[in-house]
Structure 1
């Protein structure tokens, strides 16, 4: 396990403890906590792709260092790390992060090839569920102004839980974004092995521009943006999440605005 990943985990834990205890500037602590947690999951997301490829028979992922959770080994540090970090720091939805080079042709079964793509978003889903379940169980003690059943719930550690709520929102949104079946995204990689060869060849030119197309639709077309936001909010509501939690967490995360 790379020392870079361990350092990210240590920073994340420090931010979490500081926001929980209220040590120092609690909102800055939320920034450190959520920012670090995002990159921890990003590393695990890419590790998921690499490990699934390794199990399918791609021995090259180990040689390229993809199994040690070091984000600096990703394909493009600017597109994979810097730009998502900037988007997140601005309070927006981070772009799908790192990218590992894997050989999908080694997969003997179509389900193995599909799992190479699915294994990354599964980490986002897993951490989103963990965060949402933790909030749902802690709802009676979550600090105001969390709203449960139309009433404000007061309690300790409110800034910490607001940060967890914002983190959960990010993970749900990133998972949904990654699972859109557009060439270049993991959602397409999941169904690609089951498509006819001529269909795959016809869609191949779209692959480099798939994420740009999706982001353009989300930015330029309000119905698409609103539909995406509604889908994220519906998932969180299903898990009993406070309606205003992610927004409050985002406000705490952007500590420089206060």
Structure 2
């Protein structure tokens, strides 16, 4: 795959199409400031943790959608730049309700990193089926990389000092794990299903498209209303957390701090 010259822009596209938006930079600043507030114990620490986790979660959602768009752009769909997807601006995405509002609501309700809606991609111009699958893979892979990065201080033994900060960081890492695992499930309508779609026969693709609008709803229903599936899912998440060195007791502490209203 040819990525072109740095910064990889197509002729005629303004630099603004590739610059981080002020909205994203503002959210990133809130993430940093609320992290400092949590570390220093400024004000109400539970409010600090809530702001830190929500801001960090929205940053990860922006990066998730950006990863989809960047791979699509490199793979042949240059319209993603015209649509503003490469600016990390949450307002520009096709489904802000699915991508940001609903995930934050479910985060507050159940402590689950719900997958968001992907950016709109013109799959007919993508160079190959492998690249088409890679577009879907890139989003949840970004969540997984973010989770590993957040867990790194724990694996290096740097988690000394303010316990509230480390609990908040552990909970945020846990949310990244839930998002990556959910997104990789081979369910029509989310990234795991979309990853398989290019390799299906036309008949299976037609059936996939019929089910896709309901895939997310089915996933939510199973997680929230089936204790067995909910238990299996969290067993997998905690097992993966153990593998990468995420302290489960800090995840629980972080979740309790996050729910400042309870």
Above 0.5 in TM-score? yes
Show the counterpart of 1:147.
none
For normalisation by structure 1, the TM-score amounts to 0.89
Runs of 4+ residues deviating >3 angstroms: none
For residues 17-72 of structure 1, what are the alpha-carbon distances to aligned partners after superposition, in whole Å with 9 as ceiling and x for unaligned? Answer: 11112222222111111110000010010011111111111121111111100001
Show the counterpart of 2:224.
219
Say yes or no: does 1:128 pair with 2:133. no
Alpha-carbon deviation of 1:236? 0.5
Tell me the distance in 2 between the aligned counterparts of 1:57 and 1:199: 25
Show the counterpart of 1:192.
197
Say yes or no: does 1:23 pair with 2:28. no
Show the counterpart of 2:103.
84
RMSD of aligned Cα (Å):
1.5
Alpha-carbon deviation of 1:176? 0.5
5 Å-filtered alignment, 1:131-142, equals: 131-138=150-157, 142=159
5 Å-filtered alignment, 1:1-258, equals: 1-138=20-157, 142=159, 155-257=160-262
CA contact (8 A) 1:42 1:98 kept: no
Alpha-carbon deviation of 1:220? 2.2
Q: In structure 2, list runs of 5 or more residues that go unmatched.
A: 1-19
How many residues are paired up?
243
Alpha-carbon deviation of 1:13? 0.1
For residues 143-198 of structure 1, what are the alpha-carbon distances to aligned partners after superposition, in whole Å with 9 as ceiling and x for unaligned? Answer: xxxxxxxxxxxx52100000011001100001101110011010011122222222
Alpha-carbon deviation of 1:244? 1.3
CA contact (8 A) 1:90 1:254 kept: no
Worse-matched range after superposition: 85-94 or 197-206: 85-94
Worse-matched range after superposition: 119-128 or 23-32: 23-32
Tell me the distance in 1 between the aligned counterparts of 2:25 and 2:147: 21
Tell me the distance in 2 between the aligned counterparts of 1:204 and 1:53: 20
Alpha-carbon deviation of 1:98? 4.1
Q: In structure 1, list runs of 5 or more residues that go unmatched.
A: 143-154
For normalisation by structure 2, the TM-score amounts to 0.88
